[in-house]
Amino acid sequence: MNNRRNFIKKLGGTAAGLAIGHASEASSIEGLEKKVLHSQIKTTANDKIRIGLIGSGIIGHYDTDTALKVEGVELVAVCDLYDGRLERAKEKWGKQIFTTRDYRELLAKKDIDAVLICTPDHWHQKIAIDAMNAGKHVYCEKPMVQKISEGMAIVNTQKATGKVFQVGSQRASSVAIWEAKKVLDSGAIGELTYVDAFCDRSDARGAWNYSIPLDASPATIDFDKFLGHAPKVPFSAERFFRWRNFKDYGTGAAGDLIVHLLTGIHTITESKGPNRIFSLAELNLWKDGRDAYDLINAVMDYPKAQTHPAFQVITRVNLADGSGKGGFGIKLIGTEGVIDIGWNEFKVKTLKRHSAPGFGGYDSFDSFSEKQKVEFKKWYEAKYGNAEVGYTMNKETTYEPPKGYDDRLDHMIVFFNGIRTGSKIIEDASFGLRAAAPSIACNLSTERKTPIIWDPEKMVLKS
């Protein structure tokens, strides 16, 4: 615990330090305190950074639109394999935008400083490595890789080229995650024992059944290039636009959503990850031709480390949630309280245990003989007197971001600050692999029906 507290003090002016939000009290009522979070992540300079987008789908638009909110960032090129998206790029971002179906043409452009890689997962490794070797900084969407074995090549390329590389799970820059870290490090909830993390969805789009344009055809889509090293199959618009539903191109609920949860957990605890992962998964509702699971449950064992005690993570993604609530949450349970995190807000509940255990009720006391009951009461009163029994819940505190807060924007600012000033990137290639590997291991565990053994220090599978 002391090491974690010292870490906070040492953050100083790094990107990580800037990501820690300040909390100011907004209101206080009996039993509840409310605080508003304020991010300290700021753009460091207005040097122009020219970016290229590779993969202009849903997340490509979200990432690009957010990147363009950062001062001095300019979009100059877009790559996609569907003609309609290239047409849309010029409609939205300007006719001057260079467009291509071949990402290598984009990487060859000398006026591009950095790229956003927003392609299907099975293209992440190759394009990321090619981009860094071409002298480009890289923002690569999560999960960093489709297969665990692909990860070290990205780690090594980043080290060899010295390029800035950041994985695109914005949880690593969220003001709520960093403020929750401060609460954990303060000892407010005692010693962390386990984490309950989930991401549930109820509707079709949440289960990746995205819209398909009516002109989708081999003439408008370079389907062979989309397939890449994946098995060759006949043209399928469903596979192109709903690639997350297929194991050949994506990583399913585990790589797409559990990786978000682990990114938050690893940022808060400074953990390098679990050493054992066991998972069960099913395809229950969305039997629409996909082979990716719509329900996955996993248990992960985090060994004791210098920065945290041993703890367990219990995690779930359910794309067929019948409650209609859906939602996203990370609940850190300690010996003296709970930090319950939503997306960019959280609550802290703590308790005070009293010295006296009490007796009676659901207790062995009623099984004693009358004589022993009398003797026990005398002993209890002599030992505890009138001390309070059990525990008392303390005042609950809620933390909320300011209206309009966008953790994706904070994450982009961290990336561009890294390019401009060399400030630290928390979610670098090593962090990205340490979050992606245990997530992808959930799929492996389900397929193999056995726990997966992972070395989070050396970043290698042991079984």
Q: What is the pLDDT of residues 400-442, one digit of tens each?
A: 999 999 999 999 999 999 999 999 999 999 999 999 999 999 9
**74 close to 97: Cβ distance less than 8 angstroms:** no
- What pLDDT sits at residue 28? 54
252 within 8 A of 444, measured Cβ to Cβ: no
Interacting residues of 112 by C-beta distance below 8 A, sequence separation 6+: 50, 51, 52, 76, 77, 106, 136
Q: What is the pLDDT of residue 339?
A: 98
Please enumerate in sequence order all residues whose Cβ is within 8 A of that of 107, keeping only pairs 6 or more positions apart, or say none.
Answer: 52, 115, 130, 131, 134, 136
> For residue 64, what are the contacts with CB-CB under 8 A and spacing of at least 6?
51, 53, 56, 75, 93, 116
340 DSSP β-pair partners: 331, 347
- List strand residue ranges (DSSP E) for 137-189, in order: 137-140, 165-167
pLDDT at 30: 60
Q: Which two tokens stand for residue 181?
A: 């870290």
Per-residue pLDDT, 29: 56
3-state class (DSSP) for residue 275? coil
Residue-level pLDDT at 33: 83
Cβ atoms of 247 and 291 within 8 Å: the answer is yes
**pLDDT tens by residue, 309-351:** 999 999 999 999 999 888 899 999 999 999 999 999 999 999 9
| Residue ranges in the chain modelled with pLDDT below 50 | 1-26
Residue-wise pLDDT for 115-146, tens only, equals 999 999 999 999 999 999 999 999 999 999 99
Scanning the structure block, which residue is given the tokens 């994706």? 408
CA-based torsion, 157, 155, 297, 451: positive or negative: positive
pLDDT at 11: 36
Q: What is the dihedral of CA 288, 290, 296, 301, to 10 degrees?
A: 180
pLDDT at 342: 95
pLDDT of 2 reads 41
The pair of three-digit structure tokens given for residue 98, joined into one six-digit string: 């260079």
